[in-house]
Amino acid sequence: MSNLSKTISYIKRNGIKNTCYEIAERLDKNHLEEMQKKVKVYQGDPYYWDEKVLLMYAAGHDLKNTASGEIPKKPVFKKDYLFSILVPAYETNEKYLKEMIESVIVQKDYARVELIIADASKTSQVKDVVNEYTNFPQIKYIRLKENRGISENTNEALKVAKGDYIGLLDHDDTLAYDALFHVRQKLEEKDYEFLYSDEDKGDGELTRFFEPNMKPDFNLDYLLTNNYICHFLVMKAELMKKLKFRKEYDGAQDFDLVLRAAGEVLKEKNGKEKIAHIPKVLYHWRCHESSTSSNPESKRYAYEAGKRAVSDFLKTYMGMDEEKAVVDHTMHLGFYQITYKQGIFKARPEVAAICGRVIKKNLVTDGPKWITEEGQINLFTGLKASFGGYMHRTKLILEVDAMPEGAVCWNEKYRMLFKTMEKQGKKLNFEEKQQIAREQGDIFLYVPNFQDIVNDSQ
């Protein structure tokens, strides 16, 4: 889809004013937040399809140290798992299919793996390619009698999966050479219910990588706005087989699965601690003319299915029907907004406070923060007030780890608590107030329409 066509489509959905803001943000290279600065210098996967490096990797060398001339031994993991990688296929381009298969085969030197290809093609195109890999018993091929849609096709692959954990891979995408190494490394900590990594996009030839999706640790409210988890997703087999894929959510079947899996895991004590984020790009999403990544308008039905999946989660796991919460599309396809009709504090008693951004002279000077393995990330600082920021995050509801003191509204129960403590002679600074809420297990939310909500709550 041409840039002109995309622009016209955006104008039709969102109007000229919002389109102008979007164009201005894309052209402005001076007002960037912290995440955008990281993306700007992203170089992609330096080892991808480098034959020499892959041979060294297959021999058990640690690629991170090869530049120093050291050849360390292959790591020894205490835990052993079989990983099943599910791939629903349909008339897949021969080159793309081979690259997908080979990106899985190379994982075998660090993990026990099986690749299950469920083929719904009318022709023998996929089968003919698979037959070229008869030397690799890790590949299981299933010829489906009919094409019943991506969910039902994937369920057929799911039925025969023998793995302890199951990963999902699209038929024209690829895994990074060391994807399962990092998954196994993370699983040494504990048997997580599901894990996910960062991802990026690659051109049709997978020679150039761009637009990395650098994700936060598990963040339910962010997930309710978009399927930020996406790829690479690895889930305990028993959980995935319990939930399965639902055909009525085709196009957003992975999103629906992740939402329901999160709902089930969060029922458990300390459930959030059973979901792991691996902050490395382990998945390459091929961006070609017919893919959703290249042409978001090509699968508009998928975004409608995603909207229904969020509504279903709210009803099933949070007890909110349309009388209590409504899900709408945002200006950006695939991103959603939830309106809590009775107010966010009444609908979400676990929310200790909401926050916005501190804006001076049309620039964000302070905002919420996330704490990551690499340290603290200051969200939105440096952006113009009208800009959406990395992955449109200024327009989305997010759970955050810390708030800016200048743009906070506390839940009534905390306002009363702090007043009582101050009357008793205990003066609290802003960090102490946040720590009290954390100790109670409550959360902080960034909301894009912060001031409107504050006005409604007063």
Residuewise pLDDT in 10s, the chain (458 residues)? 455 555 555 555 556 655 565 666 565 678 888 989 888 888 887 666 565 555 555 555 455 544 334 434 466 789 999 999 999 999 999 999 999 999 999 888 778 999 999 999 999 999 999 999 998 899 999 999 999 999 999 999 999 999 999 999 999 999 988 899 899 999 999 999 999 999 999 988 888 889 999 999 999 999 999 999 999 999 999 999 999 999 999 999 999 999 999 999 999 999 999 999 999 999 999 986 555 544 555 578 899 999 999 999 999 999 999 999 999 999 888 999 999 999 999 999 999 999 999 999 999 999 999 988 778 899 999 999 999 999 999 999 999 999 999 999 999 999 999 999 999 999 899 999 999 999 999 999 999 988 765 555 44
Q: Which of 405, 396, 336 is nearest to 368 (CA)?
A: 405
Sequence-ordered list of residues with C-beta below 8 angstroms from that of 131, at least 6 positions apart, any chain: none
Residues 288, 359 within the same domain: no
Q: Residue 63: give its domain's CATH number.
A: 3.90.550.10
Q: Which of 4, 16, 22 is nearest to 333 (CA)?
A: 22
Residues 63, 193 within the same domain: yes
Residues 361, 219 within the same domain: no
Q: How is residue 163 written in tokens?
A: 């793995």
Q: Quick check: is 318 in a domain?
A: no
Q: Quick check: is 321 in a domain?
A: no
Residues 25, 109 within the same domain: no
Residues 108, 234 within the same domain: yes
Residues 55, 21 within the same domain: no
Residue entry with tokens 């919002």: 18
Q: Quick check: is 91 in a domain?
A: yes
Strands 358-360 and 363-366: antiparallel
Q: Quick check: is 326 in a domain?
A: no
Residues 285, 394 within the same domain: no
Q: How is residue 383 written in tokens?
A: 């952006």
Residue entry with tokens 């009534």: 412
Residues 271, 380 within the same domain: no
Q: Quick check: is 391 in a domain?
A: yes
Taken as a whole, the chain contains a residue count of: 458
**Cβ density class 10-40: b for 16+ within 10 Å, e for less:** beeeeeeeebebbeebeeeeebbbbbbeebe
Give phi and psi for 140, each to the nearest 5.
Answer: -115, 125
Residues 221, 72 within the same domain: yes
How far apart are alpha carbons 148 and 156 in whole angstroms?
Answer: 10
Instruction: Name the β-bridge partners of 140.
Output: 116
How far apart are alpha carbons 343 and 453 in whole angstroms?
Answer: 8
How far apart are alpha carbons 16 and 274 in whole angstroms?
Answer: 44
- Provide the domain limits for residue 5: 1-30
Residues 200, 276 within the same domain: yes
Amino acid, single-letter form, for residue 205: E
Long-range contacts of 433-441 (CB under 8 A, 24+ apart): 434/402, 434/403, 437/352, 437/353, 440/352, 441/350
Q: What is the pTM of this model?
A: 0.88
Q: How is residue 117 written in tokens?
A: 């290809």
Residue entry with tokens 């060398």: 61
Residues 82, 213 within the same domain: yes
Q: How is residue 44 written in tokens?
A: 């992609």
* The total number of structural domains that make up the chain: 3
Q: Quick check: is 306 in a domain?
A: no
Helix (H) or strand (E) holding 171: none
How far apart are alpha carbons 226 and 219 in whole angstroms?
Answer: 11
Q: Quick check: is 320 in a domain?
A: no
Residues 65, 194 within the same domain: yes
Sequence-ordered list of residues with C-beta below 8 angstroms from that of 138, at least 6 positions apart, any chain: 104, 105, 108, 113, 114, 115
Q: Quick check: is 313 in a domain?
A: no
Phi-psi map region of 60: left, alpha, beta (phi>0 left; psi -120 to 50 alpha) = left
How far apart are alpha carbons 98 and 77 in whole angstroms?
Answer: 29
How far apart are alpha carbons 245 and 94 in whole angstroms?
Answer: 27
How far apart are alpha carbons 405 and 342 in whole angstroms?
Answer: 26
